[in-house]
Structure 1
């Protein structure tokens, strides 16, 4: 079973409620694990204070770091007193996502937990927020936390692409279901296996008169249903907890998450970066803004972090 023995918890000093820390505490109370309360800070004005020497600027930076460490110690003091293992780590870095990913690479964290909020769609495509960078580049699973509770006997959606015959999709499906099953066991929840499939391509229906869209849709549906049944049997998921729906994942997943009152959606992300990410985007990113529950993003087994060469 997948376990999270070493968890990085990303804090946000700009908000009162530390949702990521709350989720991490919930996990730590259910299993033995080490938490690291993590904060990346940076103030450009300290780098531009030319009237001060390098040593004096470093002293100022360390004073800011010490102040933030004190803030975190106050946040976690009661939990530490209750016996939870929580380390504190504050780093000075001008790119928060790089600080997070570098910590994962150096300290071998099993899971990153980070609070999130709705992003403006257009800005998400042009000015990539830290959330998107972490999703694309972090080698371990990333849990983005929203406001939905984790109830007993709740539902965890495992979002798969069962109909694809590509190796990387098959591998990702396996990892998604392993993570979903592990969390469902831990949280006493049920796994709901969800697979979206595309409808009839409009251009084909228009350009080829003899094309039968009804037959195409039926064949496509049957193909995905059989693939989902096979996956469900492999992971011990009852057929009544499987859902095959026509449509794009960014439409199907939020709808089913709402209908099932899901506490979490486990989804795969291939880590697309650069121009393709800006133009095409990743399915996980299209979905996240439309969900009101947590999202666990999982990378393929052979994922190579673009920062690992640095």
Structure 2
């Protein structure tokens, strides 16, 4: 994983900028360039009674002022020796502007501050963080808080591809985690969460009698696949954890108990309706997890 160019989304709705703080820390350790993107919009300046020319002048003046303000706010980082570029855009559709900049810049990582909302808010308003999880083609680092919650890194794997993830994605996640480990000196844990069908769904008496055999076989298959994946990458078995339970329940618990500051997960693009109603495992985990989340798509996928 290259760490040469980092794109950071500036949050105009909050005073704190956790994404900028985390990206700055990474840039100091790796020498990466920082590209800051701020997307502004105000509905009262979107046409209305103002003619097009006047609206354009007001918007341009505002963007220029915001650009100057942002540049001044990071001047101390430039003086420190970090390479920084600042870009301020005007757009009603924030995530679309971010994705357009990603397509042009091709950053190694996109940083944005995460402010998870409830499911209804996400359904109605399409929060930019959720849109980026679904559509961002480059690794997406969602920063939970300004201060890191832990000092270790954790990678969530899916060796049986139960979430329709391609087999290569797990290897991609491991390679990314090992690159971060080498560059940042992090302690890395690898985990896989597996959960058989609950007993409550076994209504047929004959099937229910075979339930224990099914659970044993299910665990054996997951253990075998997980161990084979870990062995292929020469990972210390003491840092490999097979968890029993649903990912959105056991992963946040593991994060709390093992001082995890960054959770690395894979995500695949689905159809629009499926994403809207069901959501990715990464989305459900983000709603509950209390650390940063690095979401990675299969190579060549958006």
TM-score by length of 2: 0.93
Question: Which residue of 2 is the match for residue 5 of structure 1?
Answer: 4
Task: Give 1:300 deviation, angstroms.
Answer: 1.2
Deviations 1:244-282 (A, max 9, x none): 112111111101111112011101111234211122211
Task: Give 1:21 deviation, angstroms.
Answer: 0.5
Q: Distance in 1 between matches of 2:271 and 2:255?
A: 27
Question: Which residue of 2 is the match for residue 48 of structure 1?
Answer: 47
Deviations 1:192-237 (A, max 9, x none): 1110112234466322514422222122112111222222222232
Question: Which residue of 1 is the match for residue 22 of structure 2?
Answer: 23
Task: Give 1:128 deviation, angstroms.
Answer: 2.0
Q: Distance in 1 between matches of 2:15 and 2:125?
A: 25
Task: Give 1:109 deviation, angstroms.
Answer: 1.4
**Taking structure 1 as reference, are residues 273 and 67 closer, same or farther at Cα in structure 2, changes over 3 Å only?**
farther
Q: What pairs with 1:258-277 in structure 2 (closer than 5 Å)?
A: 258-277=256-275
Q: Distance in 2 between matches of 1:200 and 1:168?
A: 20
Question: Which residue of 1 is the match for residue 61 of structure 2?
Answer: 63
Backbone CA RMSD of aligned residues: 1.9
Equivalent position SS for 2:203: helix
Question: Which residue of 2 is the match for residue 171 of structure 1?
Answer: 168
Question: Which residue of 2 is the match for residue 110 of structure 1?
Answer: 108
Tell me if the contact between 1:38 and 1:89 (Cα under 8 Å) persists in the aligned partners.
yes
**Taking structure 1 as reference, are residues 125 and 165 closer, same or farther at Cα in structure 2, changes over 3 Å only?**
closer
**Taking structure 1 as reference, are residues 293 and 51 closer, same or farther at Cα in structure 2, changes over 3 Å only?**
closer
Report the more deviating stretch, 80-89 or 126-135: 126-135
Q: Distance in 2 between matches of 1:194 and 1:249?
A: 10
Task: Give 1:8 deviation, angstroms.
Answer: 0.7
Q: What pairs with 1:207-226 in structure 2 (closer than 5 Å)?
A: 207=204, 209-210=206-207, 211-226=209-224
Question: Which residue of 1 is the match for residue 73 of structure 2?
Answer: 75
Q: Distance in 1 between matches of 2:179 and 2:160?
A: 23
Give runs of ≥4 in structure 1 deviating > 6 Å: none
Q: Distance in 2 between matches of 1:256 and 1:233?
A: 22
Q: Distance in 2 between matches of 1:125 and 1:209?
A: 41
Question: Which residue of 2 is the match for residue 123 of structure 1?
Answer: 121
Matched, 1:192 2:189: yes
TM-score by length of 1: 0.91
Q: Distance in 2 between matches of 1:51 and 1:16?
A: 30
Q: Distance in 1 between matches of 2:194 and 2:47?
A: 53
Q: Distance in 2 between matches of 1:198 and 1:50?
A: 58
- Of 213, 224, 228, the match for 2:226: 228
Task: Give 1:160 deviation, angstroms.
Answer: 0.9
**Taking structure 1 as reference, are residues 51 and 254 closer, same or farther at Cα in structure 2, changes over 3 Å only?**
closer
Q: Unaligned regions of 5+ residues in structure 2, if any?
A: none
